[in-house]
Amino acid sequence: MSDFPKNLIQADDLNSEHLKLIFDKAKYFEDNFTNTIQNGEHFPDLKGRTVALAFFENSTRTRNSFELAAKRLSSDVLNFSANQSSLAKGESIADTIRTIDAMMVDIYVVRNQYNGTPAFIASITNNIVVNAGDGKHEHPTQAILDAYTILKHYGKVDGLNVSIIGDIINSRVARSNITMLRTLGADVKLFGPGTLLPRHLNCWNAPIHDNINDAIEWSDVIILLRIQNERMDSGLLPSISEYVKFYQINVANFAKKDKIILLHPGPVNYGVELEHNASKLHNSMIDRQVTNGVFTRMAVLSLLANR
């Protein structure tokens, strides 16, 4: 396992063999959850280690799942909140990391609103760095938990048709998923308004669906993205009602097909990209993604720390 990367910054840090190791390890933690965690015990993988959760941007799923993952692996956890730190007094990120390094942590899990912050932190510390979402760049552990969710449902990812729908231009989840799903052999198509598709689309060589019904008909998996108002430049989405009419997944269009699953990284804008009742259909994986997020992040932390 010596070629397992030291840091996880972006999806192409991992090849298909690394991903298989992660999925096998996640399954081990899932299969042994009852006889270990629910029996009042912890897995020993990170015993004696300290994980620093350095979140410079809000998060519910990623932050809490990394905290649970670290604790279930016997790690100490240092919760670092940017807005309650000396960053608010003007201290730099470099000095902040130097200070936390001096407290002898082992792993940084970093979320930041700016592209490249986890890579920058990896360049100034000897500790392990995991990207928990940076700006519009990447969110590799989201792609891992999405792929694990697909794998558990279909028993494979290779050969499946996956459509990523919505606000692709602002989405770090889309970037990580396109790379990782292709590494695993899936065929990926995109769909969204022209203003929410990136200009460098041709570099990805990803075909675009003509309409939402074609996307549903072609797909084994739909990954629906949140409209990211906080990252919207301006004027990219002139009308929510037009968006709903042409791009929303709802019971009327989604329930037409049986062999398909729906993923969404959350948080969901109900009534915009997704109708609330559609999220309750039997083939909506949204809650299972959250559950799988803990097991896959346990696997990532364990493999990075014990390479």
**β-bridge partners, 53:** 79, 109
CA of residue 275 relative to chain centroid, distance: 22
The distance of closest approach from Cβ of residue 123 to ligand CP in the complex, given in angstroms and rounded to an integer, is 24
Binding mask 25-64 for ligand CP (x = CB under 6 A): ----------------------------------xxxx--
Cβ proximity to ligand CP, 50 vs 59, nearer residue: 59
Cβ proximity to ligand CP, 251 vs 268, nearer residue: 268
The distance of closest approach from Cβ of residue 241 to ligand CP in the complex, given in angstroms and rounded to an integer, is 26
Asked if residue 283 binds ligand CP (CB under 6 A), the reply is no
The distance of closest approach from Cβ of residue 45 to ligand CP in the complex, given in angstroms and rounded to an integer, is 23
DSSP track, 252-297: HHHTT-SS-EEE--S---BTTTB-GGGGGSTTB-HHHHHHHHHHHH
Q: Are strands 128-134 and 107-112 parallel, antiparallel or unpaired?
A: parallel
**135-154: contacts with ligand CP (CB under 6 A):** 142
Cβ proximity to ligand CP, 75 vs 289, nearer residue: 289
The distance of closest approach from Cβ of residue 25 to ligand CP in the complex, given in angstroms and rounded to an integer, is 21
Cβ proximity to ligand CP, 159 vs 267, nearer residue: 267
Q: Which of 72, 71, 107, 108 is nearest to 306 (CA)?
A: 107
Q: Which of 30, 157, 265, 278 binds ligand CP (CB under 6 A)?
A: 265
Phi/psi at 285 (nearest 5 deg)?
-100, 10
d(CA 84, CA 25): 35
The distance of closest approach from Cβ of residue 135 to ligand CP in the complex, given in angstroms and rounded to an integer, is 13
Cβ proximity to ligand CP, 109 vs 160, nearer residue: 109
Cβ proximity to ligand CP, 62 vs 179, nearer residue: 62
The distance of closest approach from Cβ of residue 114 to ligand CP in the complex, given in angstroms and rounded to an integer, is 16
HEC-encoded secondary structure of 162-214? EEEECCCCCCHHHHHHHHHHHHCCCEEEEECCHHHCCCCHHHHCCCECCCHHH
Pull the structure tokens for residue 100. Answer: 């936390």
Cβ proximity to ligand CP, 209 vs 225, nearer residue: 225
How is the chain split among helix, strand and coil, in percent rounded to 5? 45, 15, 40
Asked if residue 166 binds ligand CP (CB under 6 A), the reply is no
Cβ proximity to ligand CP, 132 vs 184, nearer residue: 132
Whether residue 225 contacts residue 167, with contact meaning beta carbons closer than 8 Å, is answered with: yes
The distance of closest approach from Cβ of residue 126 to ligand CP in the complex, given in angstroms and rounded to an integer, is 27
305 CB-side CA count, 13 A: 24
**116-135: contacts with ligand CP (CB under 6 A):** 133
Asked if residue 266 binds ligand CP (CB under 6 A), the reply is yes
Whether residue 120 contacts residue 112, with contact meaning beta carbons closer than 8 Å, is answered with: no
Stretch that binds ligand CP, among 92-100, 183-191, 243-251, 260-268 (CB under 6 A): 260-268
Stretch that binds ligand CP, among 16-24, 204-212, 243-251, 265-273 (CB under 6 A): 265-273
Q: Which residues bind ligand CP (CB under 6 A)?
A: 59-62, 133, 142, 265-267
